[in-house]
Amino acid sequence: MPKFNLMSYIMPPEDKMFFQLFQDSAEICLQSAKLYDEVMHTQLTEEQKEKALKFRKKGKLSYKLVLKQLNKSFITPIEREDIQYIASQLNKINKKIIKACLNLDVYHLTSYTEEMKEQALTLVQATEQMGEIIKKFKKVSDVEDITKTNIAMKELETHGDEIHHRAMYQLFSGKYEALEVIKLRDMYKEIENALDACFNVSDTILNVVLKQS
């Protein structure tokens, strides 16, 4: 049974807004991840580039809204440093995904490795799980429920590390030209960093809930 949390009931509506803004940012990250995954199975089009730019703008706006709300809030539902950190990580995730998406055009990449496609799918799964843990955070679910979601995120983290290791092994196997190595290494790094930020958000939320339990 979820633990009763008095603060969630007496908290002013404007302070509850942080959780909604986190959820909005997580949804933008998921949309960006799905766009990147879509591109991995087609080719980057002008329409998709426009979508990517729109998602980047929406992500930046969402981050600014959190900071604006933080600056005008005298009392916050969780520590101010945790709010700022979660918001910055969510913004980082979105920026990394969009940068990777647009770099496909910058680097003139028209064919994608299996590892790139696997990374893209794992990113979609990670952003979905991240969205779930933020929803539970907003609803003040019990620690056990949030811990289970965090464990699922850890499993995705392990899978993502395996993909990245395999990608690096293939990249330096000698079958790629030097310029291609640089391009692909950057692509892998951007998505790996986005995945790491997803796991950081999950860990931070679990730590906050543990401190308040």
Q: Are 191 and 118 in contact (CB under 8 A)?
A: no
Q: Give the confidence band of 43 by pLDDT, cuts at 50, 70, 90.
A: confident
pLDDT of residue 166: 97
Mean residue pLDDT across the chain: 90
SS (H, E, C) 55-80: HHHHHHHHHHHHHHHHHHCCCCCCCH
Q: How far apart are CA 77 and CA 18, in angstroms?
A: 8
pLDDT of residue 141: 66
High-pLDDT (> 90) share of the chain, %: 79
Q: How far apart are CA 75 and CA 48, in angstroms?
A: 41
pLDDT of residue 16: 74
Say which residues have a Cβ less than 8 Å from residue 204's Cβ, sequence separation at least 6.
Answer: 82, 85, 86, 89
pLDDT of residue 7: 43
If you compute the radius of gyration of the chain from its CA atoms, what whole number of angstroms results? 18
pLDDT in tens, 140-193: 667 889 999 999 999 999 999 999 999 999 999 999 999 999 999 999 999 999
Say if residue 57's pLDDT is above 90: yes
Place of tokens 């930046």: 60
Q: Give the confidence band of 15 by pLDDT, cuts at 50, 70, 90.
A: low
High-pLDDT (> 70) share of the chain, %: 92
Say if residue 73's pLDDT is above 60: yes
| Residue closest to 59 by CA, chosen among 93, 17, 86, 84 | 93
Say if residue 10's pLDDT is above 60: no
pLDDT of residue 1: 42
Mean pLDDT of 124-137: 95
Q: Give the confidence band of 75 by pLDDT, cuts at 50, 70, 90.
A: confident
Q: How far apart are CA 43 and CA 41, in angstroms?
A: 7
Residue 158 CA: distances (Å) to CA of 11, 19, 37, 164, 184: 37, 27, 20, 10, 21
